[in-house]
Structure 1
Amino acid sequence: MTTLVTEQMREQYETDGYFILERALSDEQLRLLRGGAAYAIEKADREMDAAGVDRLNLNARGKRYFSEMIYKDRPELREFLFSDTMAQICFATLGEQAYLFWEQYVIKAADPEGSAFAWHQDSGYVHEEHKPYLTVWIALDDVTEENGSVYLLPYTRSGIRSYVKHIQDPETNDRVCYFGSDPGLPVVAPAGSIVCFSSVVMHRSGSNLTDRLRRVYLAQYSSEIIMTKDGSRPWGSFEQFPVWSALR
């Protein structure tokens, strides 16, 4: 039913929890997402200015930025999130029903120490009572080990396919779930590439040792509406993705 995601990639997602689509974005899509990244940095800096701080939640001024739900401010991002590209990825990994769960920019400025991110599962930032969801990690710049790319621990290396308990680092606010010696599998890929992985795949990222930004756009989709732990409300977004319609 899809042309973007091959059967081999589907099998790799089941076996290892991830697959990579190199140069999957068009030049127009890349420009659109980079424009959103500039806006995300400006918005985060304004919020830190208003609070009178240089570190707010997971943001650190001039070092790393985690700006979420930017698509609510910029309608063109919403069009991308529900585009044919995303539809094909969702259909291949989640099946016939998908919801947009979360969206954010993850941006690292040049910083040898403060822009690393610890071993975690994306599910570790939610709670244990949900089905694993899909993370779509989109490189807006060429990603290398030098500029702080992501490192994955595939299922076949970690032996883990489910949620594990995380411990919060009091200095960085990172939640950490792995303290072993495996350095992980580095993702080295050109701008416009997409890394698709399960929310229970352990991953980390290094510091940006270059003098340029390393920008990533993150979209997450689930096969169900993920609720807060007490079941009182949806955790994040809950917009249904009409996968079948998008693929016709």
Structure 2
Amino acid sequence: MPIVSESPTPLVTAEHLRQFEEKGFFVLEGVIPQAHLEMMRTACVDLIDQIDERADEAGKPRTTKYFFSVWDEPQGANPVKDAARARVKEFVFSDLMARITQSLLGDDVYLSYEQFVVKAAEKGGTFAWHQDSAYVPFAHDPYLTCWCTLDDVTEENGTVYMLPYDRAGTRDLVPHTKLEDDFDLVGYRGDDPGDAVIAPAGSIALFSSHVLHRSGPNTTTRRRRIYLPQYSSAPLLDSAGKPLYIAEPFLKDGKRVQ
């Protein structure tokens, strides 16, 4: 199998790498193939329908902020999730993601986590300023978040805002506090609004797990759908050697494992 980095047309350029080093993030616009985009949209809608049906059956209100993984149940436990996982795996282990992750993480790459993040129409809520690493309860090296847009993202529908390293004043993991009556952690309470990611569907905002970021509310009449795979150069293991979420090898010595 060929080494991934031998592709003649690099997706991640020297300028992208410079921006990632200096700011902690950059955006690749419109790079997700249409077939993969449609597969992920289908998986997302099927799972939202299942979540809503279960809420209705339990007599509970439907959520306005959906976040759900397709890897968090064993094979065979949920046929809808099994079908979604089969679709999603074609993207997370694709040549596109191999080329991107090798450029930023090196020749050894693992899938560490993944989830859909969806904001309901007209009332999808916000996410507070945080670093993704704050949700990992043990010491670890920064990993890579791939914020994949399944819809056009705008300030009106609750896009993500990044706080560059220089304006945050740090590249390190900072202390976070938990919001009252919410799952969100907060790592920044300053007045810098951050840089909004405005991009078409099929784009990927790539950022370090040490980059502070937030998102606004969805005030439009349509859902805002994001798929969020995260990759690392080594498995995220706790002190007992147990993976926090996923530890599926993707690249080994620059060659595809998956």
TM-score by length of 1: 0.90
Q: Does 1:180 align with 2:190?
A: yes
1:128 Cα deviation after fit: 4.8
Given that 1:36 and 1:70 are in contact with CA atoms closer than 8 Å, whether structure 2 keeps it comes out as: no
Q: After TM superposition, list the pairs within 5 Å mapping 1:204-215 onto structure 2.
A: 204-215=214-225
Match of 1:18 in 2: 25
**Does the 8 A contact of 1:137 with 1:216 survive in 2?**
yes
Superposed CA deviations along residues 167-222 of structure 1, whole A, max 9, x for unmatched, are 11122221111100001100000000100000010000000000001000000001
Aligned 8 A contact 1:69 1:102 in 2:
no
Q: 1:50 to 1:128 in 2, by over 3 A?
A: farther
The count of corresponding residues between Structure 1 and Structure 2 is 239
Provide the secondary structure at the position in 2 that maps to 1:173: coil
Q: Name the % identity.
A: 46
Contact 1:83 1:246 in 2 (8 A): no
Give the C-alpha shift of residue 46 in structure 1. Answer: 5.0
Distance 2:64 2:161 in 1: 19
Q: Deviations over 1:109-138 (max 9, x none)?
A: 1234x5111111111111350000000000
In structure 2, C-alpha distance between the alignment counterparts of 1:166 and 1:46, rounded to whole Å:
34
Q: Structure 2 unaligned runs (5+)?
A: 76-81
| Separation in 1, partners of 2:107, 2:192 | 35
Q: Does 1:224 align with 2:225?
A: no
**Alpha carbons 1:141, 1:216 under 8 Å: kept:** yes
* Equivalent residue, structure 1, for 2:153: 143
**What is the correspondence of 1:1-248 to structure 2 with a 5 Å cutoff?**
1=5, 3-46=10-53, 48=55, 53-54=60-61, 61-70=62-71, 73=82, 74-112=85-123, 115-228=125-238, 230-242=239-251, 244-246=254-256
Deviates more, 1:100-109 or 1:232-241: 232-241
Which structure is larger by alpha-carbon Rg, 1 or 2?
Answer: 2
- Between the aligned partners of 2:147 and 2:183, the Cα distance in structure 1 is 21
5+ long unaligned stretches in structure 1: 55-60
Tell me the amino acid that sits aligned with residue 131 of structure 2: Q
Instruction: Give the alignment's TM-score, normalised by structure 2.
Output: 0.86
Give the aligned residue type for 2:30.
R
**Which deviates further from its counterpart, 68-77 or 132-141?**
68-77
Cα distance change on mapping 1:85 and 1:227 into 2, 3 Å:
same
66-75 vs 199-208, greater mean Cα deviation: 66-75
